[in-house]
Structure 1
Amino acid sequence: MKNEQDLESKVYDVIIIGAGISGIGCAAYLRRKQPKKTWCILEGRDDLGGTWDLFRYPGIRSDSDLYTFSYDFKPWNSDKAIAGAREIKDYIAETADEYGIRQQIRFGRKVFACQWRSATGLWTVTATRTDTGEEETWQGRWIFSATGYYDYDQGYRPDFPEEETFSGPIIHPQHWPEDLDYEGKRIAVIGSGATAVTLVPALAATAAHVVQVQRTPSYVMPLPERDGLLTLARLLPSRNLTHRLMRTKNIVQRHLFWVLCQRYPKLMRKLIRRMNAANLPKDFAIDEHFNPPYDPWQQRLCAVPDGDLYKSLSSGKASIVTGHIKRFVENGIEMQSGEIVPADIIVTATGLNIKMAGGIAYAVDERKIVWSEHAIYRGMLLDGIPNFALCIGYTTNSWTLKVSLLCEYFCQLLGEMDRLGKAVCVPERPSGGMELKPLLDFGAGYVQRSIDSLPRQGNGYPWMMTFSYGGDVKMMKRSSVVRPEMKLADAPQGSATPN
């Protein structure tokens, strides 16, 4: 208890909010790059892992390869390039233990308010203890928001006509019941994204039959669960070199594929169709069920490790119905076409909601922060908000590739401010103004539903939200840590000195 009291009484250099892959990554970078800085992590859940602790639905896995989804400083040593939630969470936990992070995490602290006070040059963070309901306050010079942008409390769940007539359970994957028995049951999975594509083969292993009900198809591509280059890479003299080779190869390969999709969308559409056809029966209606109305990478592609979805469809354990839902009926779903999809259980894999900065109420000197009024700077700072870093990963690449760059820059910024003797950093927009546009240029439904509530971005560096890892690496190296747009100030007179 004494340890917790000591932690609460400190003024930290950095308060990290969230103990998922981004928060643990930031803490590890601080340990490695800024070992003298004091910090803590406030986590609302009772364990670390974030997304990989929250979601418990069958088959949950990454949709990025783990050589790029893992941290650059900690090799991914599993043979699996695409891994499940348990393996990913174990990897995050190993990182926390290796860098002595776990003891700096205060679990069960649900942060609901963060207030910056210019008079003290500090953030006051207020959290509720989930075990006692008591409120606690924490003070820090910086906030590093590592909550991602998903709503961890509630997934996206549209209302369907006459739901009440269905006699079985209706389940959203974000709230999967641990005791759900689906063996031998008929299951309808509504959705076409990564969650649906993951669930269908996982459920089909024991269910009587699984039907994927989709309004429009998504791009689906087979990926080997074990990378073919790994056997050769294992011959290298160290795990770090193996990891580096696999990571570099996958970064280049994924970027090349994305560039080809942008420049030659018709050609890449044909290539993806050919892959699908090669993995499905000759009489399968590919153009009905695997032919999206948009170009590749306008939305995220769905990875199918070792073709598990194709195998379920080919075996007859699973099937796909494409079209609009008319209503729910007692024993399933009626489509606009009149077709009845029989089901004992309906799973609504209809997506996620966005909740900016964890839904926490932020304010600067009592003025409430409205995120859409602020512009992103260098992918992580926001104009007009002092000493605040926001961690958002890539949408068209592995999330963690961007996180690593942001954490690296964050540590450089802290070091440079120390060198200059400055304590406060606030980006300011150009005096002549600049054109603003949505933060994320991405067609996914969860983005489009919330785009107006997110911060904005400009039309040129350093005010752009970039999505090219290679381009970002070059910009980080060639650009000075502190630029003219960043207004630095001394610590307020009489403010707390570092612990």
Structure 2
Amino acid sequence: MEEFFDIVVVGAGLAGITGAYRIQTMLSGKRFIILEARERIGGTWDLFKYPGIRSDSDLTTYGFPFAPWTHERQIASGDEIALYIRDTAKTCGLEDKIRLNHRVLAADWSSEGKRWKLTVSINGIETIVYTNFVLWGSGYYDQRQALNPTIPGIEHFEGVIAHPQFWPDSLDYSNKRVVVIGSGATAITLLPAMSKTASHVTMLQRSPSYVLAIPTIAPEDRIFRSYLPGWVSSRLIRWKYLLLPRLTMELCKYFPKVVRSGMRRITTSLLPLHIPHDPHFEPRYNMGEQRICLAPDGDFFKCLHSERASIVTDTIKTVTESGIELNSGQRLPADVIVPATGLRIQLFGGAEIKLDGQAIKINEKYAWNGTMLQDIPNASLLIGYTSTAWTLGADIMAQLVIKVMIEMEERGAKTITPRLDPKMGVKPSRLLDIDATYVKVAVGSTPMAGDRGPWRRRAGYYEDCLKVRFGNLTQGLVFE
């Protein structure tokens, strides 16, 4: 059976629910649905089940701006966030719009019909959905395949290999020796969580990250809530969490040595005497150049004071049947190895994108304002920020695209297509604004950002807000 909709939103995680809400409130009367590939909504927070999974941003900014997070704790567990997303979808009247187990396999734009033909798999049975516009809120990583870096000798390991993205429900690691490979947010989360029951957990990192201890409940937030009306305190708290990260990033940018020195003093004060700051907490880059890892209430540092957790900075020579041999000659015995080495980036939920039956090469296209792609009509990627709260970016991009759709209707046009003027001399750069390994690996499969005009990489939330409210949103677009 074939169906037709004005707009189709792909994905029912944070980005998809955000986009659907903005359609419902800014484009009332449009017929739309949300197609979710999994059997439940929630995206990342329904998929990931590894020990201790939690947010790595405050929920005031990571949550929906139209459904504020009301709990005191700003760092929430994965289950709490998944429940929050489900409750928001229900409260906002979006539940009936969501179709679960609907995976979009391909999207083919017809220039003649001026619409998208979506091939959708419903529990293995294919059907066709037509739509004028597609909002892709399916995230930026592959939910079915993890990033698997080359680890020499890993095939010889006789213990359990547990990838965080596909954590085995039956895994019992109590009294087991665990090695977590990685130094990002996932590894920083796993070490304190697993060391509670494992006999020993070692975090093996090739190079360190910056780890910042933060309170789960900020004292000033509690004061605001105790002495001010709810509508005042909620706004103050939100502005605090909007301004502080930006202020931190600006300090990192203009005073890198001062910030680095300050972080060194703070980190050293939290470490046990037997763990030196160098080389374990001396990153090769300045603070702010990659995402900062958070340790709620300093849990990461606290576990290092116990005999159950340790950190090693080295490179792997080979994996043996019972552990890992390092290039320094040290050997790490292991019953469980956890490769927390990042995600495999994938856009459009893995769907094949075609124009009039011809597959397009995403890596050859520039991103218009970080959300629409060069030469691709009536389609938007709702990608959030990678260095600050994801949802802030997804929400402001949804508002931008919907404003452009309203402009399209006012002009009596049926299509919006970003077109790059060759005379501009745009030079390419990476679309995502962090220098992480998994981002570098994905350069050949992601769109490009430019160095000027609407093709420039997004600078941040405040700049995006100004652009959406006061900027020229038609530059680089062709309305037909």
Note whether the superposition's TM-score is higher than 0.5. yes
Query: 1:337 is matched by which residue type in structure 2?
Result: S
Q: Give me the whole-angstrom Cα distance separating, in 1, the residues matched to 2:224 and 2:90.
A: 27
> Partner of 1:121 in structure 2?
114
User: Contact (CA 8 Å) 2:162, 2:337: kept in 1 or not?
Assistant: yes
1:99 to 92, 95, 107: 92
> Partner of 1:180 in structure 2?
171
User: Contact (CA 8 Å) 1:394, 1:467: kept in 2 or not?
Assistant: no
1:419 Cα offset (Å):
2.1
Query: 2:151 is matched by which residue type in structure 1?
Result: F
Q: For each residue in 1:166-196, what CA deviation from the matched residue of structure 2 results, as whole angstroms up to 9, or x when unmatched? A: 2211111111001111111111111111111
2:439 to 444, 447, 458: 447
| Higher deviation after alignment, 194-203 or 409-418 | 409-418
Query: 1:44 is matched by which residue type in structure 2?
Result: A
Equivalent positions of 1:23-422 (< 5 A) are 23-130=16-123, 133-235=124-226, 239-422=230-413
1:48 Cα offset (Å):
0.4
Q: Give me the whole-angstrom Cα distance separating, in 1, the residues matched to 2:32 and 2:106.
A: 18
SS at match of 1:282: coil
Query: 2:110 is matched by which residue type in structure 1?
Result: R
Q: Give me the whole-angstrom Cα distance separating, in 1, the residues matched to 2:414 and 2:101.
A: 30
Query: 1:452 is matched by which residue type in structure 2?
Result: G
Query: 2:236 is matched by which residue type in structure 1?
Result: L
Q: Is 1:466 matched with 2:461?
A: no
1:452 Cα offset (Å):
2.5
Say if 1:237 and 1:296 are closer, same or farther in 2 by CA, change over 3 A: closer
Q: Give me the whole-angstrom Cα distance separating, in 2, the residues matched to 1:411 and 1:384.
A: 18
| Higher deviation after alignment, 137-146 or 163-172 | 163-172
Query: 1:18 is matched by which residue type in structure 2?
Result: G
Query: 1:143 is matched by which residue type in structure 2?
Result: V
Say if 1:286 and 1:431 are closer, same or farther in 2 by CA, change over 3 A: closer
Q: Give me the whole-angstrom Cα distance separating, in 2, the residues matched to 1:93 and 1:226.
A: 24
- Structure 1: stretches of 5+ with no match in the other structure: 490-499
User: Contact (CA 8 Å) 1:76, 1:243: kept in 2 or not?
Assistant: no
Q: Give me the whole-angstrom Cα distance separating, in 1, the residues matched to 2:428 and 2:173.
A: 45
1:236 Cα offset (Å):
6.5
User: Contact (CA 8 Å) 1:440, 1:451: kept in 2 or not?
Assistant: no
Say if 1:114 and 1:239 are closer, same or farther in 2 by CA, change over 3 A: farther
Identity between Structure 1 and Structure 2 (%): 39
SS at match of 2:96: helix
User: Contact (CA 8 Å) 1:157, 1:172: kept in 2 or not?
Assistant: no
| Higher deviation after alignment, 64-73 or 235-244 | 235-244
1:417 Cα offset (Å):
2.0
Q: Give me the whole-angstrom Cα distance separating, in 1, the residues matched to 2:157 and 2:102.
A: 38
Q: Give me the whole-angstrom Cα distance separating, in 1, the residues matched to 2:68 and 2:226.
A: 15
SS at match of 2:145: coil
1:479 to 460, 471, 479: 471
Query: 1:449 is matched by which residue type in structure 2?
Result: V
1:331 Cα offset (Å):
2.2
The root-mean-square deviation of aligned C-alpha atoms, in Å, is 1.5
Q: Give me the whole-angstrom Cα distance separating, in 1, the residues matched to 2:341 and 2:457.
A: 27
Query: 1:200 is matched by which residue type in structure 2?
Result: L
SS at match of 1:432: helix
Q: For each residue in 1:315-353, what CA deviation from the matched residue of structure 2 results, as whole angstroms up to 9, or x when unmatched? A: 222001110111112321111111111211111111111
User: Contact (CA 8 Å) 1:378, 1:462: kept in 2 or not?
Assistant: yes
User: Contact (CA 8 Å) 2:205, 2:314: kept in 1 or not?
Assistant: yes
> Partner of 1:12 in structure 2?
5
Q: State how many pairs are aligned.
A: 479
1:240 Cα offset (Å):
4.3
Q: Is 1:456 matched with 2:448?
A: yes
Q: Give me the whole-angstrom Cα distance separating, in 1, the residues matched to 2:132 and 2:212.
A: 45
SS at match of 1:462: helix
Q: Give me the whole-angstrom Cα distance separating, in 1, the residues matched to 2:439 and 2:469.
A: 30
Q: For each residue in 1:375-432, what CA deviation from the matched residue of structure 2 results, as whole angstroms up to 9, or x when unmatched? A: 1112211121110111111111111111111111222222222222222111111251
Q: Give me the whole-angstrom Cα distance separating, in 2, the residues matched to 1:273 and 1:212.
A: 20
Q: For each residue in 1:428-451, what CA deviation from the matched residue of structure 2 results, as whole angstroms up to 9, or x when unmatched? A: 112514223222242101100011
Say if 1:422 and 1:164 are closer, same or farther in 2 by CA, change over 3 A: closer
User: Contact (CA 8 Å) 1:77, 1:239: kept in 2 or not?
Assistant: no
1:305 Cα offset (Å):
0.5
Query: 1:233 is matched by which residue type in structure 2?
Result: F
User: Contact (CA 8 Å) 2:72, 2:222: kept in 1 or not?
Assistant: no
Query: 2:467 is matched by which residue type in structure 1?
Result: M
User: Contact (CA 8 Å) 1:31, 1:99: kept in 2 or not?
Assistant: no
User: Contact (CA 8 Å) 1:217, 1:289: kept in 2 or not?
Assistant: yes
Query: 1:112 is matched by which residue type in structure 2?
Result: L
Q: Give me the whole-angstrom Cα distance separating, in 2, the residues matched to 1:159 and 1:460.
A: 37
SS at match of 2:454: coil
SS at match of 2:106: strand
Q: Give me the whole-angstrom Cα distance separating, in 2, the residues matched to 1:21 and 1:457.
A: 24
Say if 1:367 and 1:240 are closer, same or farther in 2 by CA, change over 3 A: farther
| Higher deviation after alignment, 429-438 or 282-291 | 429-438
Q: Give me the whole-angstrom Cα distance separating, in 2, the residues matched to 1:215 and 1:393.
A: 28
User: Contact (CA 8 Å) 1:22, 1:391: kept in 2 or not?
Assistant: yes
1:359 Cα offset (Å):
1.7
1:281 Cα offset (Å):
1.9
Q: Give me the whole-angstrom Cα distance separating, in 2, the residues matched to 1:29 and 1:240.
A: 22
Q: Give me the whole-angstrom Cα distance separating, in 2, the residues matched to 1:485 and 1:435.
A: 12
